[in-house]
Structure 1
Amino acid sequence: MKHQLEKFIPQASVSQVIELLKHDSLLVKIKSERKTRHGDYKALPKGKHQITVNSNLNPYRFLITLIHEIAHFEAYQQYGRFIKPHGIEWKRTFQHLMLPFLNPNIFPNELLPLLAKHFRNPKASSDSDVYLALALKQFDEPNDKTYIFEIPLGSKFKLYNGKVFQMGQKRVKRYECLEVKTGRLFLFNPNAEVELLN
């Protein structure tokens, strides 16, 4: 597992991560891209547990996602299976596990203040923290996607699932967009990646 993970996370974090994964009952799998999630955790039969993380994540997002999922496992072990998935027990566990990684040997200096702010009250997904998500995306491989906040008013764009929308006005934090086929309104975070249509 060590050799496999080294390709995906910052080099300076490898030994700490290996230490966190020293559980006979915990299996980590690296998956191809899933559009709806970066990773997941589940309890398996016979006391086994599995974490999956997408292979297409940049090293910093991969590390955050991996620790997020390890926090689910640790919270399950410590507090039992009836806790809320992203409740206070998980938040505290995630904060505790992530703290040793929040240093300039592992993360670029420009990410550290955003990470520090995010981990005061971590969310179910780092994507819901718009500033952190945008900062992390600068380390992704280049692609042909456009952020919602870059789409001109009235322009059409497409999601990964093929649905087409027309760009609307910005509300307080999110953008109101009209699904062309159904006429239904949807709200999008500014950092959602979409395909601009001509």
Structure 2
Amino acid sequence: MQNTLQDYIPKLSVSKVLELLEHEHLVVKIKRERKTRHGDYKPLANGKHQITINSNLNPYRFLITLIHEVAHFEAFRTYGPTIKPHGLEWKRTFQHLILPFLNPEVFPNDLLPLLAKHFKNPKASSDTDAKLALALKQFDEPNNKTYIFEVPLGSHFKLYNGKVFKRGNKRVKRYECAEVKTGRLYLFNPNVEVELIN
């Protein structure tokens, strides 16, 4: 596992991460990209526990996602199966587990204040924290995608699944967009990546 993990996470986080994963009943699998999630955790019928993480994540997002999923495992072990998936027990566990990694040896200095703010009350996904998500995306491989907030009002864009939308007005934080085919309205976070249609 060490040889595999060191290809995906910041170098100086490897030894601490391996300590967190030292459980005979915990299995970590690295998967191809899934559009709807960065990773997941589930207890298996055979008594083992499985964490999966997408292989296409940049090292910082991979590390955050891995610790997020380990927090699910630890919260399950400590508090049992009846807790809310992203409830108080998980949040406290996540905060406790991520703290040793929040330093300039692991994360770039410009990410640390955003991470500190995010982990005061971590959400179910770091993607819902628009500022943090945008800051993390600067470390992704370049692509030809545009963020929703960059799409001009009234312009059309396409999602990964081929659906076409027209960008509408910004509400408080999210953007109202109408699916062209059905006319149904959807709300998009500002940091969603889309393909602009000219």
What does 1:80-159 align with in structure 2 at a 5 Å threshold? Answer: 80-159=80-159
SS in 1 for 2:46: helix
Q: Which runs of 5+ in 1 are unaligned?
A: none
Distance 1:82 1:169 in 2: 40
RMSD over aligned CA atoms reads: 0.4
- Structure 1 partner of 2:31: 31
Shift of 1:125: 0.2
Q: Kindly indicate whether residue 69 of structure 2 is the aligned counterpart of residue 69 of structure 1.
A: yes
Equivalent position SS for 1:187: strand
Letter in 1 for 2:30: I
What displacement does 1:115 show?
0.1
Cα drift, residue 46 of structure 1: 2.3
Distance of 1:79 and 1:67 partners within structure 2: 18
Q: Percent identity?
A: 78
SS in 1 for 2:169: strand
Instruction: Kindly provide the amino acid, as one letter, of the partner of residue 124 in structure 2.
Output: A
Paired with 1:118 and 1:69, the residues of 2 have a C-alpha distance of: 16
2:51 corresponding residue in structure 1: 51
**Deviation readout 1:27-86 (Å, 9 max, x if unpaired):** 000000000000000000121000000000000000000000000000000000010000
| Runs of 4+ with >4 A deviation | none
Specify the code of the residue in structure 2 equivalent to 1:15. S
Cα distance in structure 2, aligned partners of 1:124 and 1:185? 23
Q: State yes or no: 1:166 paired with 2:166.
A: yes
Report the Cα distance in structure 1 between the residues aligned to 2:56 and 2:46, rounded to whole angstroms: 31
Which residue type is aligned with residue 196 of structure 1? Answer: L
Q: CA deviation at 1:87?
A: 0.4
Q: What amino acid sits opposite 1:153 in the alignment?
A: L
Measured in 1, the distance between the counterparts of 2:185 and 2:174 equals 12
Look up the equivalent residue of 1:184 and give its one-letter code.
R
* CA distance in 2: counterparts of 1:161 and 1:81, whole angstroms: 34
Structure 2 counterpart SS, 1:45: coil
TM norm structure 2: 0.99
- Equivalents in 2 of 1:90, 1:47: separation in Å? 20
SS state of the match for residue 67, structure 1? helix
Q: Which whole-Å CA distance do the structure 1 matches of 2:159 and 2:46 have between them?
A: 39
Q: Which residue of 2 aligns with 1:195?
A: 195
